[in-house]
Amino acid sequence: MMFYRSLMILLSATLWWEEVGSTEFAKNTESDLERTVCGALREPFAFWSFRLAAGAPDATRLRSIHNIERLSFTTRDGRILGGYKLRAIKPWGTLLVAQGNAMLADHIIGELQSFRDLGLDIYIYGYRGYGLSGGKSRLKALVSDYQEIISALNAQDRRRRFLYGISMGGIILLDAVGKTHDYDAAVIDSSPSRISSLGCPEEYDPVNHLPRDCSGIKIIIGLRDRVVPRTDIEELATIAESRGAEAVEYPEFAHPFQDLSLEIHRRRFQEVADFLTRWRP
């Protein structure tokens, strides 16, 4: 009981400092993008929990990865996001990956080498407030960041443009560019149809950002997923499929990076790769 009370006091103090702090500090550091949209306490507490679970960056995870380079991206409100690029030898396209909500970029960059070996230049950034990235983690800001990142990538590279959103990453990518023509194909892996049930405005519900033509979208549903179960994805999958998307249920898949075996995990990535390579010139 004493531990529980101490934890609650710590959380309350953390939230008070993050959301209130000194008035002058807030004026000088908080941008309009970093205002909460999903509840004054709920949203900062959720992201605090996610960042705590994600932990700190660890450079040792990168030692065995070849053709990797550090990236930085400056957002329109001056936040610097840290990330990585995996360079393919003869690239024919780019793949921007948006990870889950309790992941750092260096957690999964090594896993993405299989996509690089297909001939794709891989880009992944830490969410603002996570790891090497500055700023406050807020949904509105994250969506804006990925709109900017995708626009910048498209401006410098005219090859095939792909997106892979994992769990929360799928929410962010659909909210950012789902209705646009800023990508050739996208895989949305284990992302819910709606987040308005969590206190967010309906304008951020991924289902409201599906394009009229979804033929370039694949939605992955894991029937062993206990984080985002099938019922939470069903609406998104049904509407997307009616517009030409490929929505597939996999009995053996759990939530991404929680599959029961390495073999199943590799099969999941192979499904993603097989879909994207349909657009290979």
Residues 19-68: tens digit of each pLDDT: 444 333 344 456 799 999 999 999 999 999 999 999 999 999 999 999 99
Phi, psi of 249 (to 5 degrees): -100, 130
Residues 177-221: tens digit of each pLDDT: 999 999 999 999 999 999 999 999 999 999 999 999 999 999 999
> Buried b / exposed e across 7-32, counting CB within 10 Å, b at 16+?
eeeeeeeeeeebbeeeeeeeeeebbe
Q: Is 70 exposed, middle or buried (0-12, 13-18, 19+ CB in 10 A)?
A: exposed
Strand partners, 247: 219
Residue 214 tokens, joined: 């979804």
Residue 17 confidence (pLDDT) above 60? no
In this prediction, residue 29 carries a pLDDT of 54
Residue 12 confidence (pLDDT) above 90? no
Residues 272, 164 contacting (CB under 8 angstroms)? yes
Interval 247-262 mean pLDDT: 98
CATH of 65-279, one of 3.40.50.720, 3.30.70.3270, 3.40.50.1820, 3.90.700.10: 3.40.50.1820
- What does the alpha-carbon distance between residue 267 and residue 251 come to, in Å, rounded to a whole number? 12
